[in-house]
Structure 1
């Protein structure tokens, strides 16, 4: 029996930015299903409603349904996902992080990069574990920091890098049925919670 060269999957989508919508549109355009969303802003809820995707307001409300998915994407999401919620996907949950892990885990990574006068920055797509920003690395993309960059502009560069890595690296790896990953060296982590 021939195996398909590209697998299609069902997804849950959590997030609150244009990047969330861009990734969702790319999933749909490539034959995948988004079963539900947990929007972190009105624009995501409006987009999901327009696409006739189920919209939920809490992790608990999703857990109370039978809306099973292969993967969960957390893209620009301020919620900590509970261990019970992370058991929902048949495969695993994936997070977008606006820095190169294992360095700069936690929040305000772009501000820390500017304050520390870093020469380059980047993004990471990683598996979600119960401890923040410690999961296996699935895709990363680096770029140079310009002298004129601010925390805001660096976040915009991160969104661009995240979307290109999503399209060119992450989704093709998932569709192949064999997404490789790299374990993080957690001794190299700077877990940051304030700037």
Structure 2
């Protein structure tokens, strides 16, 4: 993704938007400069809390009553970009990793679709993430 070859290939196209989901690489500055505020990510965590990986596991381990899904702009940090859409979902007593993952697959697709509509309508109203208080849920 961050290789010169890939970046050169991307430059051949007039991409309006790049979409990331469950991607295992950090986008480097050169890519971010090519597409300022045109790269979005769907993250199965309620930002700014639970920025890292394995969010669903940690939500269950921590006995959370809810978890969130966020669509945000990608910036040079890890899941630190401005939030485009965010929704919260109840964690039921009967839920486990599989049920939450299935819900995430469905809801991430829906939130990404909603985000794309906002882009098409030129109606994106992203907001900055609030700073976490010390000891927040960034696991």
TM-score, normalised via structure 2 length:
0.86
**Match of residue 160 from structure 1:** 106
Structure scoring higher RCO (CA < 8 A, sep ≥ 6) equals 2
Structure 1 runs (4+) greater than 4 angstroms displaced: none
Distance apart, 1:91 and its partner CA: 4.4
SS of the aligned residue for 1:106 comes to coil
Task: State how 1:1-195 maps to structure 2 within 5 Å.
Answer: 58-60=1-3, 61-65=5-9, 66-89=12-35, 91-167=37-113, 169-188=114-133, 190-192=137-139
Unpaired stretches in structure 1, ≥5 consecutive residues = 1-57
SS of the aligned residue for 1:165 comes to helix
| Contact map agreement 2:37 2:74 (CA 8 A) in 1 | no
Distance apart, 1:62 and its partner CA: 2.1
Distance (Å, rounded) in 1 between the aligned partners of 2:7 and 2:75 = 18
Distance (Å, rounded) in 2 between the aligned partners of 1:98 and 1:91 = 20
Unpaired stretches in structure 2, ≥5 consecutive residues = none
- RMSD of the alignment, in Å? 1.7
Q: Which has the larger radius of gyration?
A: 1
**Match of residue 29 from structure 1:** none
Higher strand share: 1
SS of the aligned residue for 2:115 comes to helix
Aligned residues: 134
| Contact map agreement 1:69 1:90 (CA 8 A) in 2 | no
